[in-house]
Amino acid sequence: MRRRAGEILGRAHAAGLATSVDTGWDSLGRWIEDLAPGLPWTDLLFVNQDEAQRLGGASDIRNAAHRLLEGGARTVVVKLGAQGCAVFDAAGELRVPAFDVAVVDTTGAGDCFAGAFLAAIERGLGRAEAARFANASAALSVQRLGATAGLRSWDETRTWMETAPVRQGAAF
C-alpha cells in the first residue's frame, strides 16, 4: 500500500466499491506521505488516537481528523480505546462512549472494532449505531485473552449491548 495506495483505492472507487483503510503504526515515519494519495478514494479511515495525531499533524484529534477530511477521506473514525470512539464526516462530529468492561488483553481490539463497524454499515446501520456496535465488539474482545476469543455473533453482540454498562468518559 505504501507506494500504490492512491492507485489501488482509486481503482476500487472507479469500480464502484466502498473503500476503507485501517492504519497501523508507521515504523518508517512516512505517515501522511504514503497515505495522502489514497485519501481522496477512502470512504472510511480508521485510526487510533496516536495515528490520528501523526497523520493529521495536530496534537488535538479533532483538528487532526479535520485535516484528514480535508485531505479527501469521507469519514474518519478515531478509536479511543477505553474512551470509545469519535466519528468525523461532512455531517459533523459524533462521540460514542465505550462499554465499561474489565480489560484482560487488548490484542486485536482495534481490528475487531474496524471489522464490526464495517459489518454494521454493510447491514444498513447509521454511523452512530455502527460506532456503538464496533465499541461493543471491541469491549467483548478485550475481556478475553487473545484477539478474537471474546467475540460473539451479531445477534449475541446486539443482545449484550442492551444491558452492558457504558463508560462515563472524558471528552477528547
Residues classed as catalytic: 111
d(CA 133, CA 97) in angstroms, rounded, equals: 11
From the centroid of its chain, how far is CA 106? Answer: 15
Residue pair 101/122 in contact by the 8 Å Cβ criterion: no
Task: For 43-63, give one letter per residue: b (16+ CB within 10 A) or e.
Answer: bbbbbbbebbbbbbebeebbe
d(CA 113, CA 42) in angstroms, rounded, equals: 18
Beta-strand relationship, 20-22 and 44-48: parallel
C-alpha cell at 1: 500500500
Task: For 103-113, give one letter per residue: b (16+ CB within 10 A) or e.
Answer: eeeebbbbbbb
Residue pair 1/8 in contact by the 8 Å Cβ criterion: yes
> What backbone phi and psi angles, to 5 degrees, belong to 15?
-85, 0
